[in-house]
Amino acid sequence: MATSARTFCRICEVYCGLVAEVEDGRVTAVHPDRDHPVSRGYACVKGLGLGALHEDPHRLDHPLKRVGEQYQRISWDQAIAEIGARVRALVDAHGPRAVALYQGNPTFFSFQAVLMSAAFVEALGSPNVFASHSIDTNNKFHVSTAMYGLSLVHPVPDLHRTRFLMCLGTNPTVSQMSVLTVADATGALRGIVARGGRVVVVDPRRTETVRKVGEHVPIRPGTDAYLLAAMLHVLTAERAVDLGRVRMVATGVDELVAVVAPWTPERAAAVTGIPAPTIRGLATAYADADGAALYMSTGVNMGPFGSVAYWLLQALNLLSGNLDRAGGLLVPEGAFDVLRLSAALGLGTFDEHRTTDGRWHRVAGAFPVAALPDEITTDHPDRIRALFVTAGNPLHSVPGGSRRLAEAMGQLDLVVSIDLYRNETAALADYVLPATDMLERSDFAITHQALQVVPHAQWTPAVVPAAHERREEWRIFSDLAEACGTPILGLTAAHALPRLNRLLRRLPGQPEVTPDRILALLLRWGRRTSMPELRRHPEGVLLPPAQPGTFLCRRVRTSDRLVHLAPPELVADAARLDTLEAELSRTDVLRLVGRRDRRSHNSWMHGNPRISQPAGGNRALLHPEDAAQRGILDGDLVEVASEAGTVQLPCSLTDDVARGVVVVPHGWGHATSGHPRARALPGANVNDVIPAGPAHMDPVSGQAVMLAHAVQVRRVQPQPDTPPAVS
């Protein structure tokens, strides 16, 4: 019998509404939900490929155990029991810090995984949680904690009333907008222009977004913080913004002004490549607009000044009077006040945990993954000996991962991968456990409730039962927590759920406690919607819109309820602007930046049989004049090299790329993937060129510096019928 079910995508922050067609238990089609109150029929090719993802014959369907060089199918009971016994032995011998967890990006799009994954290792007494956000957004989480008291506070542009929007390091047409929930971002930007406003895109490349909407301002890679400092200089030294008004809602005003005082537009122009009149004009237009917002994404986050740039951007939004105002930036509540809940639970604040060398602290509850290899190989009694990886592929995602992290993982006593596929990291695992996909589990977009441009709520049940032996994440971690012998006393979900449900199973007629029951309690507490209402409206419901004037001095989560404009670690790190000024001003080097492809998402969409990928894999983009200097022709095989390593891949020439820049998409190169389709695709992992280690981590947040590294590009003599290879 054919049926249809409303659900929503959980690949990126947009959470587009979808309708899945199901016949005899099989997902036959997925299409956009035109009745969704926000996305209204908008969806991208990745979301429409969820049916193929669910039915993919190369999915991980059964628990596997490594025996020699092969994997053997085992039962869930055997897998849980053996893993539990090995973890207990390691903790007994070496202490709880012997165990660590890596959370991949999809973790934070699953209510179940958010609830149980980190709680699992913390229930063991280990602080060793590492997360993918330390690759691309850690700087934002640190700055928000330092300025606003909570890592979840990220004021969102009021896009439907904004008159001036300046975007740095983002390409919404391809990848939507990160740490921000807005459907059809390109359409929202076009709406700004249609009502007489301006959209300015600052990027080293003329992106797909700029071809559709807005003005392009090219910038040298890694120099966005200099532009923001100069704009602040204009506001405070030339426009004489009313600092008395700012002091009513913030501390550290004078210290901030002192930091940006030396950065005149003329000085910043020499570093950024943006003429001083353009910088001054941007600052003036931004200050004069009736509602303006600055927004930055991964193209800045992942550069050498990710934390400083986000700090200065937040300061600009506040000093200009655009924070907490209509047309500027607002802080939504969502279905329940996530900020209030997090503060009450002590989540999203700085904690006392540090890496074994004392250098790196946890940001948003996780250590930087760039420090993971050292935490495994260190000569310290608390070194990591067991690693659980959920919904992630760190071997493929971190700088130098395929060498540095692989060598470190070879020293581990236990590796467990929980995922949809056997990816490159799972190839090193002792146990590989099959998780459910988005259509096989219930869900609610809890982690992005405070980031919605249009506040709304949607709950989805599982569209189809879990196929084969795939299991929900919360059950996997719940069973593991019990098998590993977590202490009886504790407050985390990993403590409570296994034991509570074991008790309830002994009481006839008592239903177990599931994530959905916990969600129902949260919604009841929030009083903006309820589980019965969400069940009646599977397409989702609109919530009251975010209101201006409700955040400053009211919902700021610092101890004094004021914004802290001069966190000491950020003021200190701003000195690197002077240190790197000369290096980043050079015009005689090529600097590496990344980009996304609309058909892939990091490293895990290349096996989807519904989504066709570029025939040549990823390619290096180079300006024709830079290519001519190096004797490179369009289509040539080139080698991109740095101190860290080299990759070889085809080159395309385009004047969309600024001089001095080489652009290479990330996420490619699947030679050791367990998926035959992904493995057969050509391409190279650009992360093998990116330097790793403490010297290449953001000093404030520990985020890996992935962009703006100097590289060499040379033509390679083509080898007929030989695909590009990683060296």
Q: Could you report the per-residue pLDDT of 166-208, keeping only the tens digit for each?
A: 999 999 999 889 999 999 999 999 999 999 999 999 999 999 9
Q: Is the confidence at residue 488, as pLDDT, over 60?
A: no
For 78, 413, 496, 645, the CA distances from 502, given in Å and listed in that order, are 19, 30, 10, 51
**Taking the CA atoms of the chain, what radius of gyration do you get in angstroms?**
25
- Which whole number is the average pLDDT over 236-250? 95
The residue extents of the domains of the chain are 2-55, 64-136+341-451+456-505, 158-332+551-573, 586-715
- Minimal CA–CA distance to 420: which of 496, 350, 472? 472
Q: Is the confidence at residue 498, as pLDDT, over 90?
A: no
Sign, CA dihedral 631-633-636-638, equals: positive
**pLDDT given at position 504:** 58
Banded model confidence at residue 502, pLDDT cuts 50, 70, 90: low
Strand partners, 647: 640, 726
- Which whole number is the average pLDDT over 511-535? 91
Percent of the chain predicted with pLDDT > 90: 83
- Which whole number is the average pLDDT over 279-298? 97
* Crossing angle between the packed helical segments 265-272 and 224-233, to the nearest 10 degrees: 170
Q: Looking at 225-234, 359-368, 709-718, which range is the least confident one?
A: 709-718
Q: Looking at 137-141, 671-675, 698-702, which range is the least confident one?
A: 671-675
Phi, psi torsion values for 157, nearest 5 degrees: -60, 135
**pLDDT given at position 494:** 55
**pLDDT given at position 181:** 95
716, two tokens: 């390679």
Q: Is the confidence at residue 719, as pLDDT, over 60?
A: no
How deeply is 172 buried, as exposed, middle or buried, from its count of CB atoms within 10 A (0-12, 13-18, 19+)?
buried
- Minimal CA–CA distance to 153: which of 566, 556, 560, 562? 556
pTM over 0.85: yes
Sign, CA dihedral 181-186-187-192, equals: positive
How deeply is 352 buried, as exposed, middle or buried, from its count of CB atoms within 10 A (0-12, 13-18, 19+)?
exposed
- 3-state secondary structure at position 108: helix
632 CB contacts (<8 Å, ≥6 apart)?
Answer: 622, 638, 651, 653, 713, 714, 715
Q: Is the confidence at residue 506, as pLDDT, over 80?
A: no
Evaluate whether 259 touches 229 at the Cβ level (below 8 Å).
yes
Banded model confidence at residue 725, pLDDT cuts 50, 70, 90: very low
Q: Is the confidence at residue 133, as pLDDT, over 90?
A: yes
Give me the helices (H) in 549-699, please: 568-573, 576-579, 581-584, 624-629, 676-680
Q: Burial letters for 229-245: b for 16+ Cβ neighbours within 10 Å, e otherwise? A: bbbbbbbbeebebebee
Same fold, 64-136+341-451+456-505 and 586-715: no
How deeply is 340 buried, as exposed, middle or buried, from its count of CB atoms within 10 A (0-12, 13-18, 19+)?
middle
Q: pLDDT tens digit string along 602-613?
A: 778 888 888 888
CATH label, 2-55, candidates 3.40.50.720, 3.20.20.70, 3.50.50.60, 3.30.200.210: 3.30.200.210
For 64, 88, 201, 597, the CA distances from 67, given in Å and listed in that order, are 9, 21, 52, 37
- Which whole number is the average pLDDT over 636-648? 95
- Which whole number is the average pLDDT over 568-586? 98
Question: What fold characterizes domain 586-715?
Answer: Barwin-like endoglucanases (2.40.40)
Cα–Cα distance for residue pair 658/665, rounded to 1 Å: 16
Cα–Cα distance for residue pair 573/566, rounded to 1 Å: 11
Q: pLDDT tens digit string along 439-479?
A: 999 999 999 999 999 999 999 999 999 999 999 999 999 99
Determine which helix (DSSP H) or strand (DSSP E) holds 22, and give its type and residue range: strand 17-23
Q: pLDDT tens digit string along 554-575?
A: 999 999 999 999 999 999 999 9
Question: What fold characterizes domain 158-332+551-573?
Answer: Dimethylsulfoxide Reductase; domain 2 (3.40.228)
Residue type, 610: R
Evaluate whether 604 touches 393 at the Cβ level (below 8 Å).
yes
Q: Is the confidence at residue 724, as pLDDT, over 60?
A: no
**pLDDT given at position 505:** 64
Compute how many other C-beta atoms are within 10 angstroms of the C-beta atom of residue 381.
10
Percent of the chain predicted with pLDDT > 70: 95
Domain 64-136+341-451+456-505 classified CATH 3.40.50.740? yes
- Minimal CA–CA distance to 627: which of 591, 651, 595, 663? 651
- Which whole number is the average pLDDT over 310-337? 96
Q: pLDDT tens digit string along 141-150?
A: 999 999 999 9
Q: Burial letters for 258-271: b for 16+ Cβ neighbours within 10 Å, e otherwise? A: ebbeebbbebbbeb
Compute how many other C-beta atoms are within 10 angstroms of the C-beta atom of residue 580.
17
